[in-house]
Copies of this chain bind each other. A is one copy, B any other.
């Protein structure tokens, strides 16, 4: 009996690898770093930019908006002048920690 065909869809037009869908939330040059820096709490836009180092204003803006759309990041505008906006992780964003941790573990044990 061919157990192989029981555990995985055979020649599926779109063989859903669940890991891949998770990856979509982490793909992009800056997303993991953004999560990393927001893991401890909220940060203002410019503060976050300083932590990230060589990221452009435009790119950070775009990245944050995408992550907000993905439900990973929350934006809080204090409506002050000069502007003051804070970004933080949503529950969903924080829930990615085990994934990032698995990745850290792997980089420790298989890289360096």
Contacts and interface: CB of A to CB of B under 8 A. Distances in A.
B52 A15 contact: yes
Number of copies of this kind of chain in the complex: 2
B22 A53 contact: no
Contacts of A110: 92, 95
Interface in A45-89: 50-54
Interface in A15-69: 15, 17-23, 26-27, 32-33, 36-37, 40, 50-54
Interface of A: 4, 8, 10-15, 17-23, 26-27, 32-33, 36-37, 40, 50-54, 92, 95-96, 98-111
Given A13-B53, A17-B33, 19 more contacts: A8-B40, A11-B50, A12-B51, A15-B33, A15-B52, A18-B107, A19-B36, A19-B104, A19-B107, A20-B32, A20-B33, A21-B111, A22-B104, A22-B106, A22-B111, A23-B32, A92-B110, A95-B110, A98-B102
